[in-house]
Amino acid sequence: MGLLTVTDNLLDLLRYDPQEPMLFNSALFLFLYTGVMVVYGTLREKGFARILFLTLFSYYFYYKSSGFYFLLLLLLSVSDFLIGRRIARTEGKGGKRAWLMLSLALDLGLLVYFKYTNFLFQTFADLFRKPFDPFDIILPVGISFFTFQSISYVIDIYRGKIEPLRNWFDYNFYLSFFPQLVAGPIVRARDFLPQIRQKPVVTREMFGRAVYLIAAGLFKKAVISDYISVNFVDRIFDNPGLYSGVENLMGVYGYALQIYCDFSGYSDMAIGIALLLGFHFSINFDSPYKSATITEFWRRWHISLSSWLKDYLYISMGGNRKGRKRTYANLMATMTLGGLWHGASLRFILWGVVHGASLAVHKFFLERFPRLTRKTGSEMKPWRRALGVLLTFNLVCACWVFFRADGMDRALEVFRRIFTAFHPEVFGEMIAGYKPVFALIALGYLAHFLPARWEDYWCGVLTRTHFVGKAALLVFVIWIVVQVKSSDIVPFIYFQF
């Protein structure tokens, strides 16, 4: 009976549980990933077996995140693999375009159904003042990420930038590779495909950087982001009317750090985990709150998405090749659709509209006042850069309000409290009441604004450290995570996209 109980508990642990998706910072993932690394090490010389093994684990990883929706991933891998080959074989631009449109219809059709069906029906119901009961549609985790990844593969074949793969297993591996599967970064086919058949090599520098990224990402996500979320930010945004304006403002600044640590922490872990497997991903975040302009911010924030929107949406609409007005319109359209990509809600659309308008305004000033705006980065005078960082950061934070609030009414309530009931006299009392929270906020922002060379220095130190030292660092970070861990599971914010 005892053995049966243990077996049942083990099977329950390995089955999909919507309340406990497998996360990088979970004990189950750590245990399974250790086993994967052991098996993977024995398959380094066996190309197909290695690819098949990682693909199967990737599908299991996605099953633990979204259940049997892994079949959607399988469907997408088959359809776009076949369509990509048909595009390459078809003569004439019209025929190629027809196959491309079919791929987009299939990929975007899946995305629209799962993400926007209820939103569209609710919009029409409100327009015609009709009742509407939302359909019971569960959003598969990460569908926006692997859909965009597959779209980029087909478009690159259509544009002649890459050749279609001949082996479906390679494409399936590219699309399902578990480190970036559910929350990015969005990996380009032309960057990843050449690595698939290469014998994986993990140098000492790669290993050291991987450990650094995993430890840093785990600390950012499971310590800073989760702690300030559960113990401060969520309380403010759940009931902004119960708090003063200064507390709401600190809640906004706290959320700006929370979402950065949450998403960049996940990206760091994804990049580090991939490095240990011998695969290289491009950087996804580059200290975005150091940006002195909104344009610079979007070159530093979620780089894989912003570059994807630029290459496959903005440029496809004409980019800046068709005059100033069209350029501004393209920026607005790109960012509005980028906002809609994040969520089927008016507040996400508004978030995108404000960012699009800000990018258009900045581009307008670049063109009209080149002497004042042509210098960027280190070329700017320190006082101008400091002022630019301050203004850009607060603009981004203001937009985060719409991103985080549960609805427009609550978002407007946050602004209302900030501008009409600020009460700065409660600041000291607030700090005293949330000492651990504000200590972590201060630590997070301090680390963010440190020079990049500091990170390179400590990464180098860790690279030169003995294996035992690296293991001790990871154990120490895990111990800290356990000490501050909330009883509730705090999923990655971008899982919902």
- Catalytic residue list: 342
Measured distance CA(488)–CA(234) in Å, rounded: 13
Q: How many other C-beta atoms are found inside a 10 Å radius of the C-beta of residue 18?
A: 10
Task: Tell me how many degrees the CA angle 436-493-405 measures, rounded to the nearest 5.
Answer: 80
| Strand, helix or coil for residue 304 | helix
Measured distance CA(63)–CA(70) in Å, rounded: 6
117 by Cβ neighbours in 10 Å (0-12 / 13-18 / 19+) ranks as middle
Tokens 């327009």 label which residue? 127
Tokens representing 179 are 């480190």
Contact 334, 315 (CB under 8 A): no
Task: Write the DSSP symbol of residue 164.
Answer: P
Measured distance CA(465)–CA(209) in Å, rounded: 11
Residue of 42, 44, 22 lying closest to 31 (CA atoms): 22
Tokens representing 385 are 């850069």
Measured distance CA(247)–CA(20) in Å, rounded: 32
| Strand, helix or coil for residue 465 | coil
Tokens representing 67 are 């259940």
Residue of 344, 353, 285, 310 lying closest to 497 (CA atoms): 344
Question: What is the secondary structure of 110-140 as a DSSP string?
Answer: HHHHHHHHHHHHHHHHHHTT---PPP--PPP
Contact 495, 142 (CB under 8 A): yes
Measured distance CA(493)–CA(474) in Å, rounded: 23
Contact 185, 303 (CB under 8 A): yes
| Strand, helix or coil for residue 227 | helix
